[in-house]
């Protein structure tokens, strides 16, 4: 039996208190498939240029893919909106139990499109192919307490940071173990007074795909990624980045952390109380006991809150990670906010007694940010660029499009500078991570760097339209074509073209918002030499970066200012999206 076709969308108007089931245009399903692609197309259509991300006119989507619940690996959903941190397109993803339950609860719908603002705090309850708007009695509670209020359902919710519209607030699922993390989707929920989405549904069942699923699961287990996940997973990334000298340390001052071993895979294995989904062939993250419950550390926890803040106490770093999880706050941006404060204090910009290596001080500042309970906390809640505008101290930590960089330092692998600069949602290592190959190949040169970054960006866009587990995607040599055939979906132009088309849609969205070459920038902080480590003295050369960006634009079919040309628009069938543009030069 083939799985049912998800070809509708639930439109929720919180201002009117209404819910409506609407069909997804068949052409959109073929051109954008689902997930990121479909969400990007809807967002472009729903918003006018210049809409306030925290205003009533912004829209937010919770989107699945046509294969959600069927693919091996961990299911995910996409939260898609206009970012309050960057003012750009935002797609953020989270896994765990919530996506499977949402897929079962939505029935023939591929997602939710939420508009308007509720008059009082509410939650959305999704069940039996419909959604209801109910009062949110858990407003004011943390992410764990909110999830525990619904023991027989899966919950995606915001914590105090989202309620107070922190620009990098997350949407937490599975009681804070998983987060749609970067860019502030949680703040958009808070602005709409939407506390939670509660899904009551069993994961979808499609007996007809069992053989296909088993075959790909076996293939997945034997990939390098499958073996790596079983052995260690993302908690080993600190060991990798540290070894090659690309681990952001002490607020981007160094590229190597002397105490990395205290936070790396060996220590995690010693301290873990178990592994999430340990009964599966590719178990999830290690579970570590903290003072307020289990914590599932991600690689970014040790890198950003450990090395980045010069904290080598494993328990203290775990507590900082759990603090961010409970407050519902992106730990990458939050860690950068703490690092900026330390450096601003040392530079005389602030009078704040805080130094690197102080976990208690860092934790207190995280609470201030989430609650906006001080002048500094309120400023940092809008991002480090906003704080620098208020106090001074610009360029103390690097950002791209106002988003703080993850902990892979491009001075240890130049290709990451291009990957960060051209990411459609601001500085992001998830769109493309060429560092994992460049460090073994040597200098690639501008043209190859551009080609590798584009290849990964397009591939990710395709996989995130399915939505496939990031790691399982390594087993999809055909980008999922065989799977889509099983549900009768024939993507327009082929899946490789789908990925490129999606990337150009998000670029058109961002160009409409005023993004240009100036925003695809090299942060000034990366032009300062690393102080120590195997890459001591390394910088990212501006001329080299400009050469990479020129090569990237040429290969993309964009102008020298980063705008898709008329020829590119025509080739990808995107003419309907360009009515807002006066000219598109070839």
Angle at 72 between CA 459 and CA 94, to 5 degrees: 65
Q: Check if the beta carbon of residue 133 is closer than 8 Å to that of residue 124.
A: yes
Residue closest to 179 by CA, chosen among 36, 340, 301, 48: 301
Q: Which residue has the higher pLDDT, 533 or 169?
A: 169
User: What integer pLDDT is reported at residue 406 of this predicted model?
Assistant: 93
Window from 291-300, 320-329, 391-400 with minimum mean pLDDT:
291-300
Window from 54-63, 135-144, 181-190, 432-441 with minimum mean pLDDT:
432-441
* pLDDT higher than 60, residue 583: no
User: What integer pLDDT is reported at residue 396 of this predicted model?
Assistant: 95
Q: Check if the beta carbon of residue 585 is closer than 8 Å to that of residue 567.
A: no
* pLDDT higher than 60, residue 520: yes
Confidence grade of residue 483 (pLDDT, cut at 50, 70, 90): confident
The residue to which tokens 């995690």 are assigned: 268
Q: Using one digit for the tens of pLDDT, what is the confidence trace for 52-61?
A: 999 999 999 9
Confidence grade of residue 255 (pLDDT, cut at 50, 70, 90): very high
User: What integer pLDDT is reported at residue 20 of this predicted model?
Assistant: 98
User: What integer pLDDT is reported at residue 435 of this predicted model?
Assistant: 83
Q: Which residue has the higher pLDDT, 67 or 125?
A: 125
CB atoms within 10 A of CB 395: 15
Q: What is the mean pLDDT of the chain?
A: 92
Select 410-577's CATH number: 1.10.340.30, 1.10.599.10, 3.30.1490.20, 3.20.20.80: 1.10.599.10
In order, the DSSP letters of 495-540 are HHHHHHHHHHHHHHHHHHTT--GGGS---GGGGSPP-SSTTTT---
Residue closest to 14 by CA, chosen among 140, 135, 109: 135
What whole-number percentage of the chain has pLDDT above 90? 72
Partners of residue 60 on adjacent β-strands: 81, 114
User: What integer pLDDT is reported at residue 226 of this predicted model?
Assistant: 81
How far is residue 90's CA from residue 81's CA, in Å, rounded to a whole number? 5
For domain 8-205, give the CATH superfamily.
Answer: Aldehyde ferredoxin oxidoreductase, N-terminal domain (3.60.9.10)
The residue to which tokens 């003012």 are assigned: 87
User: What integer pLDDT is reported at residue 212 of this predicted model?
Assistant: 86
Q: Using one digit for the tens of pLDDT, what is the confidence trace for 446-480?
A: 999 999 999 999 999 999 999 888 788 877 888 88
Confidence grade of residue 535 (pLDDT, cut at 50, 70, 90): confident
Q: Which residue has the higher pLDDT, 535 or 305?
A: 305
Tell me the two tokens of residue 295: 């914590």
User: What integer pLDDT is reported at residue 451 of this predicted model?
Assistant: 96
User: What integer pLDDT is reported at residue 119 of this predicted model?
Assistant: 98
User: What integer pLDDT is reported at residue 1 of this predicted model?
Assistant: 53
Q: Using one digit for the tens of pLDDT, what is the confidence trace for 286-314?
A: 888 877 777 788 889 999 999 999 999 99
* pLDDT higher than 80, residue 208: no
Are β-strands 171-173 and 293-295 bridged in parallel, bridged antiparallel, or unpaired? unpaired
- What is the SS3 assignment for 17? coil
User: What integer pLDDT is reported at residue 475 of this predicted model?
Assistant: 79
Q: What is the mean pLDDT of residues 111-116?
A: 98
Window from 232-236, 314-318, 452-456, 548-552 with minimum mean pLDDT:
232-236
Residue ranges covered by each domain of the chain: 8-205, 209-397, 410-577
User: What integer pLDDT is reported at residue 586 of this predicted model?
Assistant: 53
Q: Check if the beta carbon of residue 352 is closer than 8 Å to that of residue 185.
A: no
Confidence grade of residue 584 (pLDDT, cut at 50, 70, 90): low
Confidence grade of residue 123 (pLDDT, cut at 50, 70, 90): very high
* pLDDT higher than 80, residue 277: no
- What is the SS3 assignment for 415? helix
What whole-number percentage of the chain has pLDDT above 70? 97
Domain 209-397 class in CATH: mainly alpha
* pLDDT higher than 70, residue 395: yes
Q: Check if the beta carbon of residue 213 is closer than 8 Å to that of residue 207.
A: no
């Amino acid at each position: 039996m083939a799985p049912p076709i998800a070809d509708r969308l639930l439109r929720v108007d919180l201002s009117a208190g209404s819910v409506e089931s609407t069909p997804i245009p068949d052409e959109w399903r073929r051109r954008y498939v689902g997930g990121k692609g479909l969400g990007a197309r809807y967002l472009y259509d729903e918003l006018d240029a210049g809409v306030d991300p925290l205003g009533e006119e912004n829209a937010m989507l919770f989107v699945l893919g046509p294969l959600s619940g069927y693919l091996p690996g961990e299911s995910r959903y996409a939260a898609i909106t206009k970012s309050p941190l960057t003012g750009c397109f935002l797609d953020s993803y989270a896994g765990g139990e919530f996506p499977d339950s949402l897929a079962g609860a939505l029935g023939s719908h591929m997602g939710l499109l939420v508009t308007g603002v509720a008059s009082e705090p509410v939650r959305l309850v999704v069940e039996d192919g419909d959604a209801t708007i109910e009062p949110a009695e858990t407003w004011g509670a943390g992410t764990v307490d909110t999830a525990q209020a619904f023991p027989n359902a899966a919950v995606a919710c915001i914590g105090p940071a989202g309620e107070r519209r922190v620009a990098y607030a997350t949407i937490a699922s599975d009681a804070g173990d998983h987060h749609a993390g970067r860019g502030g989707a949680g703040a958009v929920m808070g602005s709409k007074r939407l506390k939670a989405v509660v899904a009551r549904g069993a994961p979808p069942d499609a007996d007809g795909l069992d053989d296909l699923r088993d075959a790909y699961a076996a293939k997945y287990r034997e990939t390098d990624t499958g073996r790596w996940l079983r052995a260690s997973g993302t908690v080993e990334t600190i060991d990798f980045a540290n070894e090659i000298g690309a681990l952001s340390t002490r607020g981007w001052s160094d590229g190597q952390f002397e105490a990395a071993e205290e936070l790396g895979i060996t220590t995690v294995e010693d301290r873990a109380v178990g592994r999430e989904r340990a009964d599966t062939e590719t178990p999830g993250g290690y579970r570590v006991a903290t003072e307020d419950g289990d914590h599932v550390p991600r690689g970014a926890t040790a890198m950003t809150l450990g090395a980045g803040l010069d904290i080598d106490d494993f328990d203290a770093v775990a507590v900082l990670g759990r603090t961010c999880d409970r407050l519902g706050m992106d730990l990458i941006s939050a860690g950068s906010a703490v690092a900026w404060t330390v450096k601003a204090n040392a530079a005389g910009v602030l009078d704040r007694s805080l130094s690197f290596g102080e976990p208690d001080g860092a934790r207190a500042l995280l609470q201030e940010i989430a609650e906006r309970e001080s002048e500094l906390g309120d400023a940092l809640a809008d991002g480090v660029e906003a704080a620098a505008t208020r106090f001074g101290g610009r360029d103390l930590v690097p950002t791209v499009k106002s988003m703080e960089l993850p902990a892979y330092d491009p001075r240890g692998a130049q290709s990451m500078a291009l990957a960060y600069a051209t990411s459609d949602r601001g500085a992001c290592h998830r769109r493309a991570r060429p560092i994992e190959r460049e460090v073994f190949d040597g200098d690639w040169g501008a043209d190859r760097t551009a080609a590798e970054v584009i290849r990964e960006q397009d591939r990710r866009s395709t996989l995130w339209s399915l939505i496939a587990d990031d790691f399982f995607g390594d087993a999809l040599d055909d980008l999922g074509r065989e799977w889509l055939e099983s549900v009768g979906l024939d993507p327009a132009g082929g899946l490789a073209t789908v990925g490129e088309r999606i990337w150009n849609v998000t670029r058109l969205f961002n160009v409409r918002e005023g993004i240009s070459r100036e925003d695809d920038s090299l942060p000034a902080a990366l032009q300062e030499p690393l102080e120590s480590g195997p890459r001591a003295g390394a910088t990212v050369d501006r001329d080299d970066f400009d050469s990479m960006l020129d090569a990237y634009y040429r290969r993309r079919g964009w102008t020298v200012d980063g705008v898709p040309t008329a020829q590119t628009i025509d080739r990808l069938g995107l003419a309907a999206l360009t009515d807002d543009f006066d000219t598109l030069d070839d």
